[in-house]
Structure 1
Amino acid sequence: MAFESLSDKLQNVFKQLRGKGRLTEDDVRTALKQVKMALLEADVSFKVVKKFTKAVEERAIGEDVMNGLNPGQMVIKIVNEEMVSLMGSETTEIAFRPGQAMTVIMMAGLQGAGKTTTAAKLAGKLKSRGKFPLLVACDVYRPAAIDQLRVNAEKVLVDCYSEGTDVSPVDIARHGIEYAKNHNKNVVIIDTAGRLQIDNAMMAELVNIKQAVDVFQTILVVDAMTGQEAVNVASEFNDKVGIDGIILSKMDGDTRGGAALSTRFVTGKPILYVGMGEKLQDLEQFYPDRMASRILGMGDVLSLIDKAAAAAEEADLQETQDMAERMKKGKFDFEMYLESMKQMRKMGGLGSILSMLPGAGKISQDQLPDEKELARLEAIVLSMTPQERRNPKLMSPSRKKRIADGSGNDIAAVNRFIKNFEQSQKLMKQLGGMKKGRHGGLGSLMNMQNMMKGGKFF
């Protein structure tokens, strides 16, 4: 989980500050030494750490903070504000040419950074926002990259232009622009070749493409898991090619997070998006304030609401409204359980959801059910008839035996699941259901999380 290690260390530091009634300068400096070590261990650039801790210290060691009613909270507030400033303060969108002019975007990055997948993710994201993108395959050195781009383009319902491996990348880019003009495309995303490491030939090729097709935005894809090396890569590309923005890939697999805190400061270029999974929809807008909240263990409820809204928009409206009405009346059944599980997967899974909730860092991974366990429980429900899902009271010993055999479980597991489900129904009635509206999916999902706490169902 992104920032897990850094978040844990920072929360321990803040816990010590909250326990003090009044802070001294020594308290602040001691805490900042621990913050400094936590940032360095998270692979944040030393220059960034030095600037960050100095800025926090200058603001924290002041009369207003030292004598404040809650000085510990004031220091945490300052750390949060400085962290937001470090990552860019404001959310930055990809820039497009004004009017009806075509926007050409060139994707750059090292081999293995996830550039080709990210290009398709970006195309899908822009298509959902009303753009008409075209993907152009200019990585002629890896035939597999061309095939990968074409397959992913089909998945996001976007056109892909390619000419194989026998044409120069510059010519393919030119021809791709002509194709886009003739097919009413207003955004062209060029997937360029990567290398295992930075070399002059790669850089020269990128510069030639930029000059040949008048690239408007050059976006660098950086593997967040490479830590400090990601900062060096970003700096090299910016110096030799010139970049306009950064997308951090594989953020879901990085427990340190140093790249997110360093690249903006080192390059002066904004982080536009972060890749939070392997699925083509797992590309999130980068919000510095929300990311800072995640790092400091304050959660990211706004992003969670956005995910719930997106999941709800994909669901059948009438089905969602029916589910809301039944939930409101406390009539939670197995069909609604299946729907909630489906929504949870669309939002990235239980771990992804909990990472956005305040205080979720206190929940260890051992306390969460794994995907295999969730699939096993889902198999139990899928082995029921539609009538049994709608009316759990129909369950008889013979029905339970049939469900156990059909789902590959023993009857004890089915009995335990149904018993816990009945307890959850009672809880649902006490909760009073959820509100209708755009975020109905979030309401049902939060109720699901309440039921899962403490090991219910498992």
Structure 2
Amino acid sequence: MAFEGLTERLQKTMEKLRRKPKVTDADLRETMREIRLALLEADVNFKVVKDFVKTVQAKATGAEVLKGLNPAQQIVKIVNEELTNMMGETAAPLNKAPHIPTVIMMVGLQGAGKTTTAGKLALKLKEEDQARPMFIAADVYRPAAITQLQQVADSIDVPVFEMGTDVDPVEIVRQGMTQAAIQKNDYVIIDTAGRLQIDEALMDELVKIKELTHPNEILLVVDAMTGQNAVNTAEGFDDQLDITGVVLTKLDGDTRGGAAMSIRAVTGKPIKFVGEGEKMENLDVFYPDRMASRILGMGDMLTLIEKAQKNFDEEQAAETMRKMQENSFDYNDFLDQIDQMTKMGPLEDLLKMMPGMANNPALKNLSIDPKQFLHIKAIIQSMTEAERTNPDLMNPSRKKRLAAGSGRPIVEVNRMVKQFDQMRKMMNQITNGNFAGMQNMMGGLGNMPGMPGGKLGKMAMNQMARRMKKNKKKRLKKRK
């Protein structure tokens, strides 16, 4: 995630504060100094940092905070609230027209990822709104721009209106809108041209398209890796077009992330979506409160739950739960779980969404190679149907055959079988409410190729165990 450096610095600052028996004015000043430096190093706009620190200090200086029973936690709460306010307080929904079509203009500099983001947005609308979007190819300048849009559109089965590269973009949009009316498309997404920098010719063209279509959304696509240039770009486009929102791309890249925190404060325009990954499914609604929580290392369980709900089949999940309780979970079920889990995104990113795990040393340089899951699948797919449905059949001669059939070393086959057995026992304990000893069992799970170490596994399981115990108590209380 883009904020790892900032998260690490802020967490250390807050931890130093928590260790103090009481917080003095001098402690508060030192804390605010550290926060200010952390934000500036993360490339947050200077004026935004200045206002942020001033607001937090004013709220935290009160006697009721400094003399409170747990002043450190109160200060963390204030910082969390102000980070959320800085980025926009609440998620901003997509503006929709009272009648079809809703028109969305995608604008931005060349290379920011407009075309790919247009495809991600169209897929999101198809899946979540059961909409029928259409693209208009209005970029006639960049080589192969129309071809790229067509490839993106074909991958998600969305039509493209295009007239080649020898027609004025405004005329293309005019005729495209007529076509959308005939086809009764719910959404029209206009893929406009970009430049390496803002220039008069580009803006004139975009203004004409805006005047012609009266778009419900003018979404500025910004590369988060450009730092403060992203804020300058947002200001430039907003002055000319009065944008309605921002989409931040490459938020999973090697970037300090300050742009995401500055754009709303500088332009007043909301960040509506963020792109974290290259797949068409990798476009998420931007929730300021969740992002603030992630920055402070407090996790993002809501997003994690949403990803799980989106990628896991409900009936299949219920059947898996039943098998876990009966201890009949087999390799076929394990294969299904791997397929569904990999759809949620990189495992290291999912682990970082758990509270307290964002900057855990064990996750610091963790990079789980997706090929490791392919190797596990290859081993399972080399099994006979009897071996898949009855894991207890496994013996040395069968393992040797699996190693030859999958092309993996015998030691890897042994390790996978051992981890599967341990996981099956652990799942049975979890589903039946028996938490004793399952944390220790997680230590073994960490030895699976590409998986995080045992210590990290235990920590993750401790987190889950505490939550499940708490939920179980709540259910019992309600029954009484």
Bucket of the pairwise TM-score, normalised by the shorter protein: over 0.9
Partner of 2:475: none
Partner of 2:106: 107
| Alignment RMSD (CA, Å) | 1.9
Q: 1:258: how far off?
A: 0.6
Cα distance in structure 2, aligned partners of 1:403 and 1:105: 53
Amino acid at match of 2:106: M
SS of 2:172's equivalent in the other structure is: helix
List runs of 5+ in structure 1 lacking aligned partners: 435-446
- TM-score normalised to structure 1 length: 0.92
Q: 1:347: how far off?
A: 0.8
List runs of 5+ in structure 2 lacking aligned partners: 450-480
Amino acid at match of 1:387: A
- TM-score normalised to structure 2 length: 0.88
Amino acid at match of 2:388: R
Partner of 1:373: 372
In the TM superposition, 1:95-244 aligns within 5 A as 95-98=95-98, 100-128=99-127, 129-244=129-244
Q: Retained in 2: the 8 A contact 1:108–1:191?
A: yes
Q: 1:456 aligns with which of 441, 447, 454?
A: 447
Total equivalences in the alignment: 441
Partner of 1:90: 90
Amino acid at match of 2:395: S
Cα distance in structure 2, aligned partners of 1:101 and 1:23: 57
The answer as to 2:321 corresponding to 1:324 is yes
In structure 2, relative to structure 1, the CA distance for the partners of 1:368 and 1:15 (3 Å cut) is same
In the TM superposition, 1:6-405 aligns within 5 A as 6-98=6-98, 100-128=99-127, 129-312=129-312, 315=313, 318-361=315-358, 362=360, 363-367=362-366, 369-405=368-404
SS of 1:252's equivalent in the other structure is: coil
In structure 2, relative to structure 1, the CA distance for the partners of 1:130 and 1:81 (3 Å cut) is same
In structure 2, relative to structure 1, the CA distance for the partners of 1:426 and 1:103 (3 Å cut) is closer
Cα distance in structure 1, aligned partners of 2:4 and 2:356: 12
In structure 2, relative to structure 1, the CA distance for the partners of 1:21 and 1:56 (3 Å cut) is same
Q: Deviations over 1:270-311 (max 9, x none)?
A: 110001110111100011111111111111111111111111
Q: Retained in 2: the 8 A contact 1:14–1:72?
A: yes
Cα distance in structure 2, aligned partners of 1:453 and 1:275: 34
Cα distance in structure 2, aligned partners of 1:255 and 1:433: 44
Q: Deviations over 1:1-30 (max 9, x none)?
A: 221111111100010011011101110110
Amino acid at match of 1:357: M
SS of 1:273's equivalent in the other structure is: strand
Q: Deviations over 1:138-192 (max 9, x none)?
A: 0101242211111211222221111111111101110110000000112211000
Amino acid at match of 1:185: N
SS of 1:253's equivalent in the other structure is: coil
Amino acid at match of 2:210: K
The answer as to 2:428 corresponding to 1:429 is yes
Amino acid at match of 2:356: G
In structure 2, relative to structure 1, the CA distance for the partners of 1:389 and 1:366 (3 Å cut) is farther
Cα distance in structure 1, aligned partners of 2:341 and 2:444: 15
In structure 2, relative to structure 1, the CA distance for the partners of 1:131 and 1:332 (3 Å cut) is same
SS of 1:251's equivalent in the other structure is: coil
How high is the sequence identity, in percent, across the aligned residues? 50
Q: Deviations over 1:91-130 (max 9, x none)?
A: 11111122x2422111000111111000111111122213
Q: Retained in 1: the 8 A contact 2:348–2:366?
A: no
Cα distance in structure 1, aligned partners of 2:317 and 2:295: 33
Cα distance in structure 2, aligned partners of 1:327 and 1:197: 57
Q: Retained in 2: the 8 A contact 1:3–1:254?
A: no
Cα distance in structure 1, aligned partners of 2:79 and 2:125: 34
Cα distance in structure 2, aligned partners of 1:254 and 1:204: 34
